[in-house]
Amino acid sequence: MGSREGLKDKKRIIVKIGSSCITHSETGALNLTKLEILVRELCDLKNMGKDVILVSSGAIAVGRQTIGFHHRPKNVAEKQACAAIGQAQLMMIYQKLFSEYGHQAAQVLMTKNTMVDNLSRKNASNTFEELLLLGAIPVVNENDTVATYEIQFGDNDMLSAIVTALVDADMLILLSDIEGLYTDDPRENPDARFIDTVAQLDDELMRMGKGSGSDVGTGGMATKLSAAKVATAAGADMVIASGEDFHVLHRIVRGDKVGTLFQAQPQEEFHLIDILEDGD
């Protein structure tokens, strides 16, 4: 239990949620009950004196619903139109919910270019620091309206890990439809064993992620392990847990045994720019 004991002392927490966590699987529409619980949990973390940043997927899903698309957008133009409409809708709902609990949400949209360019990266870092200083809760997403293949992060798992490194956060929580890391896909292998804590992310573990996890959204287990590699190298602990019930957030921060904990492995030679240029 000792390794989770320190989680309650974390000061700057990034929470990433996948599209599947905030939409109804039957219709694709927003699950407002879950969103309300999510916002309440985040506001309570803020009330404890912690800095909180939310990395939220869902813009394309919400836009598709608003436009009345019955199909998944196929081409780039359709996706970007859905993202433009959906992002505005999503932020409007976040603003309303956060203000009901006495907090201010702030939108931050990023592309890979923001991070690769030294000046833009510094500006982004300064903006986050100022927002947190002002007591706002930044809500981050990839700028899907303008991002093309060349400037995409690829998925919000990696985006959240990069934000973790950028703002020197000491904890990253990834919530999706995956409960944590297993030795194999538990849906296919009844002998798959749940892994409670990962002290060292080695090649064997990275390979394990290739065969397990979810195909909902863009990030399966492999992308989460890549995110863990970045976040832990930057000096943050990371937890992968199920977003089925957002009450899980205070349980994780309290140090309960929930999800898989990846312990920080700070690297002295950690450079964010190297990771971005590797396309990892």
pLDDT for 217 = 40
> In this structure, are residues 45 and 249 in contact, taking their beta carbons and an 8 Å threshold?
yes
Query: Would you kindly state where each structural domain of the chain is located, as residue ranges?
Result: 2-278
Beta strands in 8-104 (DSSP E): 12-17, 51-56
The C-alpha atoms of residue 114 and residue 280 are separated, in whole angstroms, by 16
Average pLDDT, the chain: 88
> In this structure, are residues 55 and 141 in contact, taking their beta carbons and an 8 Å threshold?
yes
Mean pLDDT of 240-260: 96
pLDDT for 278 = 62
**105-110 and 260-262 strand pairing:** unpaired
Lowest mean pLDDT among 35-49, 83-97, 104-118: 104-118
Read off the pLDDT band of 90 (50, 70, 90): very high
Question: In this predicted model, which residue has the larger pLDDT, 238 or 219?
Answer: 238
Based on the number of CB atoms within 10 Å of its own CB, is 235 exposed (0-12), middle (13-18) or buried (19 or more)?
A: middle
Mean pLDDT of 218-247: 89
Read off the pLDDT band of 218 (50, 70, 90): very low
CATH number (3.40.1160.10, 3.40.50.20, 3.40.50.720, 3.30.420.40) of 2-278 reads 3.40.1160.10
Q: Enumerate the H helices of 140-238 as residue ranges.
A: 156-166, 203-211, 221-233
| pTM (2 d.p.) | 0.91
Compute the radius of gyration of the chain from its Cα atoms.
Answer: 18
Question: In this predicted model, which residue has the larger pLDDT, 242 or 71?
Answer: 242
pLDDT digits (tens, 9 = 90+) for 137-151: 999 998 877 766 554
